[in-house]
Amino acid sequence: MRSLFCLGMFGLSIVALASDHNNLEPSRPLSVEDAYSIAFGEREIQVGFSALGRDHARSQYGMRTEFQYGFAKNRDFSVAFESLSPHAPTTFEASYFENLRRETDRSPALGFRLSANQTRSQMSTELTLAATKAWHQYDKLHANIGLSTDDAPKFILGYSSPIGYPRRFDTTAIGEFMIQRGVGSIGVGLRRQVSVRGVVDVGAIVGDGRSKLVAGYSVGF
Amino acid sequence: MSILAIVLGASQIGLPTMPNDLPAWLNSNSTDRLFYKPAPYNWDIERIPAFARDMYATGVGHAMAYEALVRGQASSLETRTFSTIDWVLKHPPKVPVDEGAVSPTFERKYGALEKVFDWAHTLHFQVIDVFMHPGWTVAQKEAEVGRLWDFYRSQPYALTGLPMNMEVLDNFPYSGIFRKRYPKVNALFWGYHWLQTVNYDMLYRVAIKDQSAQYPIVSEQYHRTELYNTRREFMPMTAELSPRFAKRFPEIANAFDNLHMLHDNVNDILADERLRESQKQEQVKIAIYRVLDSTHQNERPGEGKSLTLHDHRFPEGMPGMGMMKGGNEQTMYMTGMGWMNMSECSHCSIPLDDGPRWGATVSADGWTMWVRCPMCARDMASETPGKAIIRAATEDPDQMLILTSDDEGNWTSNMPGVVFLERFGDHPECSDWSRAFTSPKAFDAFVRQHPEYKDAKALSLAEWSQQNHGKPDTYQRIDKPNPYRGGRS
């Protein structure tokens, strides 16, 4: 936990340098992600906090810290720690993302993520396929399919739209509908550029008797 | 215009043809986003917030215009799109804007071009950041700018740093269409390029505290005049606006000019109604190819056959500039100033000195001129109404004199103790008898070493400002017709 705190403080200390509100990253703030990797050579730290409420159960609070690195063109890897309190073990996640192609008039942008999660002695792997396509002029549709070794397939349809065009260029609104094991949830969120490369995000997800509030900060350098 | 007319028109206009060695990435659908070179100076542009915001806004304007062109909204470019861009320029964003997000349709169709633009814009910003980084010496900054150039060239999207013949690059069947048909939006584009190139002499070798003091004058010229200047005959060139920077970093200055010429080519291609979309996409790739670093491998500045794609000659004294329309190694035409010789003082026509006694530059009414001495700078500035900036060498190579004037010609100095030597004599020696010193002590030390000036008085700024020797008799006006206006001068 101490190491997580140190990593989080490091992220806050380089507030002047990073990230972009247009790019959708998993958990920042919703589950949906776009089909693009971070830029080649970019490093990004994301810190997020969440509050999880369930019907007839105590609320839980979580913290997620992630480091991403664009180690090659169209490819990045990331490592993340997520802890939930009380009574939940810390999860460690490592993942590789690859953007296969950009969007053109004929086809959407495509990418995939391979990730491994470890919680105590349990390990799972997941393949996520991501597609992004323009909708009208500035809005975008995102489709994610998640195939996990220890859970049912997950389908997410996401929608992002810049707010304020053509006068402001710093905020993106996001919505998503996710379905897994036949149960749906919806989420809404916002990403706002607050400095040259720093982005603040907030979001809320409800469904399946649960509600989750998320807030985070991303900085690239 | 009917499809038949478009097809017939395009086949008859002699478009450039696709080269055999087009780099494969120009046809690739990969995304290839690149991050800037990690360094402590990144985003130091924000030390002058108004400058940073104006620079962020330039990207928005480009993107909006391109988006309108590819979405079939050309008819409202001079009205609705212009107004929208103008609003943004008057209310610039506080953070950098992802141009691709503002022009998503354009990016889908011209993704390879966006890579070239983004990478060159990254170089633009990082060079600025280096110059605005506090705590580094001039030598450290110059070395880092050299490393930035190497970093830039390491990617296939890099533009050549060789001087290119601008007459050749602006002489295709589509050339000039955009500026004729959309003069107001073209003025905005050239206004952005003015700001993107004028800033380097504002920053290069200038102390951090003195950089911000110049920006109000630069900003006023940009917002009041340059963005709306539809009388300019050709795009602003880096060496016209930042001659000291262009001479010291010719490859970067040339790359910026080649970038801006590529912008003009793309504007013209997109605005040419004779071309089908597939032809536009092909012509944009050819336009990119022409100015890529990879296209000019093993070629050298100063060499190449005249008036060809591989003509890398440059005007005497200015390696950071390609040949201009109608010009030769001795003379070039500059909007607002007429014909000039870049190796000579713009005021007295005597050859410029090199090295630490580089003289001075004068910026006024949107132009910047290199002169031999502070006197030439002052007298030249007095010929032009409005505010002006003089940047002049002193006896200390690490301290540059920055003088800014108000509309009445009252000068303010960045050096409270500045004094001047001015013992008027023959102009061929003006850089000997007209000098600026950081302090009276420095003046005295100079006089001790040069007894021929033992009777000279150290002029204060107020005393020096009152002097004016008018147009020197050595000045030689180059009397040739304006190459952009069918022979009219």
Q: Tell me which H or E stretch contains B246.
A: helix B243-248
Of B42, B87, B101, nearest to A167 by CB-CB distance is B87
Token duo for residue B133: 């980084």
Whether this prediction's pTM lies above 0.90 is answered by yes
Of B30, B94, B101, nearest to A102 by CB-CB distance is B30
Q: How far is B343 from B330, CA to CA, in rounded Å?
A: 8
Q: What is the ipTM score, two decimals?
A: 0.88
Token duo for residue B432: 């000997």
Decide if B88 and A39 are in contact by the 8 Å CB cutoff: no
CB atoms within 10 A of CB B5: 11
Q: Are B402 and B414 in contact (CB under 8 A)?
A: yes
Contacts of B182 (CB under 8 A, 6+ apart): B74, B77, B78, B271
Token duo for residue B124: 């633009």
Q: Are A172 and A21 in contact (CB under 8 A)?
A: yes
Decide if B42 and A134 are in contact by the 8 Å CB cutoff: no
CA-closest candidate to residue A24, choices A186, A187, A190, A180: A190
Torsion, Cα of B433, B355, B399, B251 (10° steps): 140
B35: chain A residues, CB-CB within 8 Å:
38-42, 70, 220
- Interface check for A200 against chain B (CB to CB < 8 A): the answer is no
Q: Tell me which H or E stretch contains B124.
A: helix B111-131
- Locate the DSSP E strands across B204-348: 332-334, 338-340
Of A104, A162, A194, nearest to B108 by CB-CB distance is A104
Q: Are A167 and B87 in contact (CB under 8 A)?
A: yes
Q: How far is B228 from B232, CA to CA, in rounded Å?
A: 10
Decide if B31 and A36 are in contact by the 8 Å CB cutoff: yes
CB atoms within 10 A of CB B220: 12
Contacts of A156 (CB under 8 A, 6+ apart): A31, A32, A142, A143, A144, A145, A146, A176, A177, A178, A179
pLDDT at residue B165 in the model: 97
**pLDDT tens, residue by residue, A97-142:** 999 999 999 999 999 999 999 988 889 999 999 999 999 999 999 9
Of B84, B93, B104, nearest to A137 by CB-CB distance is B104
- pLDDT tens digits in sequence order for chain B, 489 residues long: 444 444 444 556 789 999 999 999 999 999 999 999 999 999 999 999 999 999 999 989 889 999 999 999 999 999 999 999 999 999 999 999 988 899 999 999 999 999 999 999 999 999 999 999 998 999 999 999 999 999 999 999 999 999 999 999 999 999 999 999 999 999 999 999 999 999 999 999 999 999 999 999 999 999 999 999 999 999 999 999 999 999 999 999 999 999 999 999 999 999 999 999 999 999 999 999 999 999 999 999 999 999 999 999 999 999 999 999 999 999 999 888 889 999 999 999 999 988 778 999 999 999 999 999 999 999 999 999 999 999 999 999 999 999 999 999 899 999 999 999 999 998 899 999 999 999 999 999 999 999 999 999 999 999 999 999 999 999 988 888 999 886 544
Q: Could you say which DSSP state residue A32 is in?
A: -
Q: Are B237 and B288 in contact (CB under 8 A)?
A: no
- Interface check for B446 against chain A (CB to CB < 8 A): the answer is no
Number of helices (H) and strands (E) in chain A: give both, helices first: 1, 12
Query: Which amino acid is it at A54?
Result: R
Sign of CA dihedral B66, B67, B72, B76: negative
A104: chain B residues, CB-CB within 8 Å:
29, 108-109, 111
Q: How far is B76 from A32, CA to CA, in rounded Å?
A: 37
Contacts of B408 (CB under 8 A, 6+ apart): none
Q: Tell me which H or E stretch contains B67.
A: helix B49-70
Token duo for residue B331: 């003379």
A41: chain B residues, CB-CB within 8 Å:
34-38
**pLDDT tens, residue by residue, A141-194:** 999 999 999 999 999 999 999 999 999 999 999 999 999 999 999 999 999 999
> What is the gyration radius of the CA atoms in chain B, in angstroms?
23
